[in-house]
Structure 1
Amino acid sequence: MTAVREKAAAPEDLARLFVERANAGDLEGLVELYEPDATVALPGGRTVAGQAAIRAAYEQMLARKPEFGAGTALPTLVSGDWAQTASRTDDGGARAEVAHRQSDGTWLIVLDRPFFA
């Protein structure tokens, strides 16, 4: 049976859900936050695209058991069904995402730069 997870009702929910799921080691829950063809920027300048590649990258990340903080959210920019979210991380870095509203009104990440200074 598939776990029923909270969906992002607003673009701002995505960062919170990411932190909660990453800290819980919930790989599939992380992948569910992304559109099927999403692109994620990884440390070292590498990018991955598509849920299978995102799953593989996050599987490696979660194996190290990192601890994520919520950070400080910056104002969200919304234009129709698109939104840009960003936050300052607790370690002085930043993260930014582009999200897309789905037909059911929830939001998923399309472009993600989770770690930059």
Structure 2
Amino acid sequence: MTTPKTLTTLTYACITLGAFLTPSTAEESKTMTKEETNVLSVIETMTSSFAKADIDAVMNTYEPDAVILFEPGVGTSDEDAVRQSFAQFASMNPSFSYGGHQVVVAGDVGLHISPWQMKGTGPDGNAFETGGLSVAVLRKQPDGKWLMVIDNPYGNLHLDNQ
């Protein structure tokens, strides 16, 4: 039986994915620098990998010790917990819509911000809808590749509580 806490945790887990499902538009891409485009490419790679339920490829878009918040205020970098949470995403068949995104790069640090809405089906079979503002921090690796370091889908949490 699915408890409300389990459904809530799974819903929060799906929120994290929202940071990575923002498609780029031609207009947004025109204004991006090469490095901003590279940061966005990591997001798009994660998105396409998730759509294929390729959890290994999803994990390859994160640094090994990246912190992901699958629920507000609670980050984890435990690989098994992260893999399990991402696997639960696939079982919920989430669909996302976005109000756009912003990418900012300063040296070897990138920031990806995306407002999102998500619809899905919980483990109990009930439909749900949620949304928020996802904030992801990426770091450029010595080989030039960008990887996510922090993934927080609750960027609007403090604003909503003001």
Same fold (TM over 0.5): yes
Q: Where does 1:22-61 land on structure 2 (aligned, <5 Å)?
A: 22-61=50-89
Structure 1 residue aligned with 2:100, among 72, 87, 90?
72
8 Å Cα contact 2:132/2:153 also seen in 1: no
**What is the CA-CA distance between 1:41 and the residue it aligns to?**
0.8
Consecutive unaligned residues in structure 2, runs of 5 or more? 1-36, 119-130, 157-162
Structure with more of its chain in helix, by fraction: 2
Q: How many residues end up aligned between the 2 structures? A: 108
Structure 1 vs Structure 2 CA RMSD: 2.3
How far residue 116 of structure 1 moved from its aligned partner, in angstroms, is 5.3
Residue 108 of structure 1: which of 147, 151, 154 is its match? 147
Specify the code of the residue in structure 1 equivalent to 2:112: T
Structure 1 or 2, whichever has the larger Rg, is 2
The alpha carbon displacement at 1:115 in A equals: 5.3
Are the structure 2 counterparts of residues 16 and 90 from structure 1 closer, same or farther at C-alpha, using a change threshold of 3 Å?
farther
Find the counterpart in structure 1 of residue 134 from structure 2: 95
In 2, Cα distance between equivalents of 1:41 and 1:34 = 13
Do the aligned partners of residues 68 and 28 (structure 1) sit closer, same or farther apart at CA in structure 2, a change above 3 Å counting?
Answer: farther
Change (3 A) 1:13 1:85: same
Aligned identity (percent) is: 26
Kept in 2: contact 1:27–1:62 (CA 8 A): no
**Residues 110, 50 of structure 1: alpha-carbon distance in 2 compared, 3 angstrom cutoff:** farther
Unaligned runs of 5+ in 1: 1-8
In the alignment, is residue 18 of structure 1 matched against residue 46 of structure 2? Answer: yes
**Which residue is equivalent to 1:84?**
111
CA separation in 2, counterparts of 1:61 and 1:101? Answer: 27
Q: 1:44 to 1:100 in 2, by over 3 A?
A: closer
> Partner of 1:12: helix, strand, or coil?
helix
Name the amino acid aligned to 2:135.
A
Q: Secondary structure at the match of 2:93?
A: coil
Q: C-alpha displacement at 1:93, in angstroms?
A: 2.4
CA shift in 2, pair 1:44/1:79, >3 Å = closer
